[in-house]
Structure 1
């Protein structure tokens, strides 16, 4: 367990902009920073980071919080894991007791898999560094590829002994369960139940995700064993912590350079990435020979919209350059293509050239994707039908580009290059766009019907169908009230109020809300809100108490998460339009919200009475009692309506 004092040191040292910048490219906007939200498909920057408040928030999907909540949501890690991540970043020592065997067993599955992978990473490195076979075979293989020791260390490369149970035996001796050796893909079971090491006799390439966690491994047979073998590489299978179409090899080592250079090079294999790093070009990742997925594209787009597809010049390399390009274009990526000279791939080319020479070659020979596709598909084509099909394919690629100006620019260039009427190309493009819209509309309609069907089935099966409208309105008002408590709970809004015994008092936001609701024994429907209000009242008299800072750094993760979500206003007005924050404005807002809450409660009470009258039957005494209650509730509603200043709606 991490003690409270250490948690406070970690939180005090944490800079929200510094943390979020590890994962999102931020641009300064006024006093805040803004970038593309990492939690949804964000086309325009809607993710705001406030360094003064120490929080971040997406104004489209609503996710955010302080640095701890951001890490928990982004990396899907626990609260203690997020604190440890920050402690490592800011070099804060955490003294923790060793977990007992029982506590280890109770650890979550994901955490257990990460722990096993981290151990395996160290095991593979240790074998290559210390075992005679590891040095003679594994280390020698990497050196034969020209990799320096510092690069081997940077990518944490390793070696697996050829004995088929070497890793599993060592893991079990350390107390790791067979269950997680299998789930991570480090081992597999044969039909007879025997546990076998997946990577035995292979050199190891760890897959490290964007936050530095080991999610998978790739193992390569050594050159002497690859003759006649189709599967030189074996990779981890999909698991709870690893999905191949979500990850990019080298992203952890490349992310800072990608942001700095504002472009990323996409290559095919592990050694391409490693050799380019050794050459001095670090903004490079690999998709391991598969077509790019939306997840991978959106991961890259958080760092840069500019991508260069860097492949060798054979047929396979050209085919690889063509895969997934329409998807890249549709996500707003700017694509360049560079085909290396025949006989070279990024690995071999980078070993022959310095970084300056490589960059100069890239700048001189990279081609805009549309130009590349045009040359590739129309070179030497004279058959009218094939030429027409090629032009349609090119126009279809242009049609998926989201920016209209970019589309029009490309079409104009295509018109000149193809010597075709621009009007014809525009008409063809519009048909593609129209067809795509129709298909999306049909898909949306199918999804709507499916949701309606599911809702109908849930209703038939007596499943909960959600809150009543009045209940939802009440919850919304309660949330707005507690937002004022979290942000301004310590601020005085009433001065010199006289009490029943003749004394005068000042009331803060939290104290006023608590006093007003207590008059009629009212409480929030959400118990978390009641806890927050009680704590705000309790600390209101303490010197130096600031509600927002207190709750953002609260040890209860539910409270601090809520404070983070509500810390930033959902309205981003220009400075000239922003309402000046004053005690009068705050008082009017808080008192109005409390009146709204009371009004919602009274309206719900009126509906409850009406429901009881319908079920009272012929019990006249009960009906008269209910009618009296109804009359009193109506009178209270009228008073509240006048105080709110709204027209009474009967």
Structure 2
């Protein structure tokens, strides 16, 4: 269910960028702005700036920028609606829902909300069970045995399900929960031989809540502590309206900030692996929870980093069985490293055995590029067997072929050829064959003839060459910057700067898509009787526009106020002559466009038949004259020959 526009506006009016950011980093005043080390990447010198006057943030290191809502979206990894809810809760703003007209949509929304409430009731119930006699003697004893301290138990909201058929069911019913919701949440089961009679799904087990990105419990994993061959070691919540295991990674809520700050995500297999690594001081870790890695889980990681380090137990058979996960990570555009623990060890056991310092040192020093890892893995089997060696090479090349970036592919191909002591051309031929095969399979085209030139088998790269992206002109950016920052200023008694600027560029079509979009929205606002300032564009739900606008209004450097007040040193400001600044910038843009037009005409002259050359030369001369006139007006003594 959508949040009303009134609630969104109340949030925008009430939130303060300094208060919001201060919840995550410590800001220090320097000049008119506040500064800190960026929470989105590692740095030693602060380049993260917050402007209380403009209510924006901007990192001059990694480029992250936006308003308070965008900051919450970035730092929490959540969407716009979730960010509004987060801030509304922080500021005590009542959330007004927009009721959808579709009855089915209303029912679906209400059901999801009920599931969240029921699951979080269960999570609290399981946590409180650790305080019971049974919970302390069994559940808490198990956690202590694994070295889990009270802080880590609370951090992951670990709990215990009592060894009873219906303790959760009874307590939930007393609290007003309907049986139907408990059933849909996967908390209870229906007796096979006795319909309408139910019992708890989780009984006599320690419980690991699974959280979504905003920290709500959406499912549970539960481990039995007794030796009972009739029961599985772990049981998990079923799929529900709010839990799809292929979309979730265990520990992502606790890890997201660490992943972003370290710019790396450690990927392990189980719940206890994640928790043990947190105990070792490593928080940027998530688990696939024993399931095969999925495309949506990879996309979830990519929201926070492009770097993944996969941690493997020291078991060759298990590693080979899970190699498909590496290929999927590569195909998803992630940079992959691997760490293999000694035989018989996993991240949980090795962390407990080696201690915090040694464990950290081990995973840092043992991290290998996936190419080195894969070659070493197959080398032992293929040492004296040419057939197996050839198959090992194909396996390595198959992984390289998954990488979408052609430059990265090329670098890995060269490195692999060196490591395998073989000619690079042979490896490239096999790489081309595999890429072509994949392309033909995806496009439904099959051919026995394999073209040999590399560019023939990289259709994506050719498409980029044939359709190069529009050149970003700094003059376009500068004009949009002036328009956003000063368009509302008056340059005469009857004219605003925006009217003057738009008249100067009325015949121009911007080539940079984002600047053209801003220009169109600016004109649209004027037609609606709005004289827009920069904050008008921060309310638009277009991330590209918001990023561009913040980049243009954020100030990287400030002139000290002491220069004028104390030292009587006066500096020229662009606001001293806005009309002149705007006019000169528009001339530079026109000059840039004319230069581009002239180059295009020169290209046509080279390929044109003799009958058309004279006309094209005339056009070239006229463009040159116009450009020279503009350049001379700008004070360029020697007109450009290009």
- Indicate the TM-score class for this superposition, using the shorter chain for normalisation: 0.5 to 0.7
What residue number does 1:175 align with?
A: 176
Alignment of 1:192-591 (within 5 A): 192-222=195-225, 224-227=226-229, 229=231, 231-315=232-316, 317-319=318-320, 321-381=322-382, 382-442=384-444, 491=488, 496=493, 548-549=534-535, 560-561=539-540
User: In the alignment, is the contact (CA less than 8 A) between 2:152 and 2:275 conserved in 1?
Assistant: yes
What TM-score do you get using the length of structure 2 for normalisation? 0.61
Distance 1:489 1:534, change over 3 A: farther
Instruction: Provide closer, same or farther for how the CA distance between residues 14 and 402 of structure 1 changes in structure 2, counting only shifts above 3 A.
Output: farther
Give per-residue Cα distances to partners, 1:438-483, cap 9 Å, x unaligned.
333349xxxxxxxxxxxxxxxxxxxxxxxxxxxxxxxxxxxxxxx9
Cα 1:77–1:564 change in 2 (3 A) is: closer
Alpha carbons 2:268, 2:274 under 8 Å: kept: yes
TM-superposed deviation, 1:211: 2.7
1:272 offset after TM fit, Å? 1.0
What is the aligned-residue RMSD (CA, Å)?
Answer: 5.0
Residue of structure 1 in register with 2:15 after alignment: 10
Change (3 A) 1:53 1:190: farther
Q: Which moved more, 1:119-128 or 1:561-570?
A: 561-570
- In the TM superposition, what is the alpha-carbon distance from 1:256 to its structure 2 partner? 2.5
Are the structure 2 counterparts of residues 375 and 178 from structure 1 closer, same or farther at C-alpha, using a change threshold of 3 Å?
A: same
1:300-346 deviation per Cα after TM superposition (whole angstroms, max 9, x unaligned): 23333332221221245423552311111223323222221222211
Distance 1:330 1:196 in 2: 44
**Local SS of the residue matching 1:341:** strand
Partner of 1:116: 118
Q: Deviations over 1:192-231 (max 9, x none)?
A: 2333322122211011223322222111111x144454x2
SS in 1 for 2:358: helix
- Pair 1:158–1:290, CA change in 2 (3 A): same
Indicate if the aligned counterparts of 1:289 and 1:320 stay in contact, CA closer than 8 A: no
Aligned-partner Cα distance in 1 for 2:315–2:181: 41
Q: Which residue of 1 aligns with 2:129?
A: 127
Q: Distance in 1 between matches of 2:121 and 2:130?
A: 14
Is residue 266–residue 285 contact of structure 1 (8 Å, CA) maintained in 2?
A: yes
| Gap change, CA 1:269 and 1:316, over 3 Å in 2 | farther
CA distance in 2: counterparts of 1:77 and 1:115, whole angstroms: 20
8 Å contact from structure 2 (residues 39, 261) kept in 1: no
Give the secondary-structure state (helix, strand or coil) at the position aligned to 1:402: coil
- Which secondary structure state, in structure 2, belongs to the residue aligned with residue 380 of structure 1? helix
Q: Distance in 1 between matches of 2:542 and 2:420?
A: 58
**Gaps in structure 1 of 5+ consecutive residues:** 35-48, 58-63, 444-482, 498-505, 514-527, 541-545, 553-559, 588-650
> Take 2:248 and 2:430, find their aligned partners in 1: how far apart are those partners?
36
**8 A Cα contact 1:332 1:403, kept in partner:** yes
Pick closer, same or farther for the CA change 1:54–1:95 going to 2, 3 Å.
closer
CA distance, structure 1, for counterparts of residue 429 and residue 356 of structure 2: 45
Closer/same/farther in 2, CA of residues 340 and 145 from structure 1, 3 Å limit: same
Q: 2:92 aligns with which of 94, 103, 125?
A: 94
The 2-side partners of 1:389 and 1:584 are apart by 69
Superposed CA offset, 1:259-310 (max 9, x none): 3333222111111111121122222211112222222222223333332221
Q: May I ask how many residue pairs the two structures share in their alignment? A: 478
> Could you list the per-position Cα deviations for residues 73-96 of structure 1 after superposition, in whole angstroms to 9, with x for gaps in the alignment?
9977785x64452366xxx56286
Distance 1:570-1:10 versus aligned 2 partners, 3 A rule = closer
Distance 1:188 1:264 in 2: 36
